[in-house]
Amino acid sequence: MPRVPVMADPMPPLFHELLGDGYEVLPWDLQPGSASLERAVGIITYSHPKVDGALLDRMPNLKVVSNHGVGVDHINVPDAEARKIPVGNTPGCLDAATADLTMALILATARNVVVGDRYARSPEFTHYDPSILIGHEVSGTTLGIIGLGRIGRQVARRALAFDMRVLYFNRTRNEDAEQDLNVTYVPFDDLLGQSDFIALNCPLTRETTGLISGPQFALMKKSAILVNMARGPVVDHAALYDALKSGQIAGAGIDVTDPEPLPRDHPLLSLGNLVITPHLGSASDRTRRRMMEMTIENLNAGVTGQPLSWQVRSPK
């Protein structure tokens, strides 16, 4: 049988292994008249290439867009729906791994793990000095979660194990979560003012773009630490730099940036009270394998005209 042609941006060897021999993987080639655009029956988006109506209109045989990941801000879902092309993603499987890294960034930033590692390796570390690198206590403090969805709930579970008081703000109040997790709903500004740590676990939408900027930093405690596991544009990076540089907040841990990656001369990269990781939220072996499996399951369904197991639908 002929193999099914799909267009994909570069994928790791394990992805090709799991995909099997039934597919012909075409390069991500957007040049006019490219064979990829003309022939592809499916798209796999691995590293967040842009997919919009202009691209879809150049792919006459396309039946499905299968995204490796939960966030689909790089895919114009309404454009796909208007052309009756389903879009799939991989919800649920990466919640624990992303929540783990949220806590890792909280701890790394609060307890000077990165700064301490650099110092411990340096020639300056010649004797133990109990007066240096005094960090911020995590146990018994207040964590504010913005976005109590699947990932946010997993963050709350971990925070409770650290004896943290957990506040949350959501577009819609979640009374079931309040009962199950012993978390407290508060208005947005109250969360910013009361929290020692603020975790962003919300999706990127029109409403959340620029959600944290100068006025929001002004409401935070000077000892506060911000962790962004959402998307880069949720935080105004110029305002974040000013808040960290001036001491308006104590520190930040970010796994996502805008743009991604930041230019190598970006001022944020010069700050010692910022811990930054290269979008590692879901980067665990078990999670990434499951994401690949779900991506392929959505692809298989789409190219054969079956309902996707995990289909993204635009809000009505």
Which of these is catalytic: 68, 153, 231, 288? 231
Q: Specify whether the CB–CB gap between 90 and 69 falls below 8 A.
A: yes
Are residues 133 and 49 located together in one domain of the fold? no
Are residues 99 and 139 located together in one domain of the fold? yes
pLDDT in tens, 189-246: 999 999 999 999 999 999 999 999 999 999 999 999 999 999 999 999 999 999 999 9
Are residues 180 and 102 located together in one domain of the fold? yes
What pLDDT is attached to residue 316?
67
Active site residue 231: yes
DSSP string, the chain: -PPEEEEES---HHHHHHH-TTEEEEP---STT-HHHHH-SEEEESS---B-HHHHTT-TT--EEEESSS--TTB-HHHHHHTT--EE---STTHHHHHHHHHHHHHHHHTTHHHHHHHHHSTT--S--TTS------TT-EEEEE--SHHHHHHHHHHHHTT-EEEEE-SS--HHHHHHH--EE--HHHHHHH-SEEEE-PPP-TTTTT-BSHHHHHHS-TT-EEEE-S-GGGB-HHHHHHHHHHTSSSEEEES--SSSSPPTT-GGGG-TTEEE-SS-TT-SHHHHHHHHHHHHHHHHHHHTTPPPSSEE----
pLDDT in tens, 79-110: 999 999 999 999 999 999 999 999 999 999 99
Which of these is catalytic: 153, 158, 279, 288? 279
Active site residue 17: no
Are residues 32 and 177 located together in one domain of the fold? no
Are residues 87 and 155 located together in one domain of the fold? no
Are residues 127 and 258 located together in one domain of the fold? yes
Domains held by the chain: number = 2
What pLDDT is attached to residue 315?
79
Residue 132: domain span: 95-276
Active site residue 297: no
Are residues 128 and 256 located together in one domain of the fold? yes
Are residues 130 and 102 located together in one domain of the fold? yes
pTM: 0.91
The pair phi, psi for residue 153, each rounded to 5°, is -65, -40
Pairing status of strand 87-88 against strand 64-67: parallel
Are residues 102 and 141 located together in one domain of the fold? yes
Which of these is catalytic: 81, 178, 260, 297? 260
**pLDDT tens sequence for the chain (316 residues):** 689 999 999 999 999 999 999 999 999 999 999 999 999 999 999 999 999 999 999 999 999 999 999 999 999 999 999 999 999 999 999 999 999 999 999 999 999 999 999 999 999 999 999 999 999 999 999 999 999 999 999 999 999 999 999 999 999 999 999 999 999 999 999 999 999 999 999 999 999 999 999 999 999 999 999 999 999 999 999 999 999 999 999 999 999 999 999 999 999 999 999 999 999 999 999 999 999 999 999 999 999 999 999 999 987 6
The CATH number covering residue 15 comes to 3.40.50.720
Are residues 247 and 114 located together in one domain of the fold? yes
Are residues 237 and 143 located together in one domain of the fold? yes
What pLDDT is attached to residue 42?
98
Are residues 183 and 296 located together in one domain of the fold? no
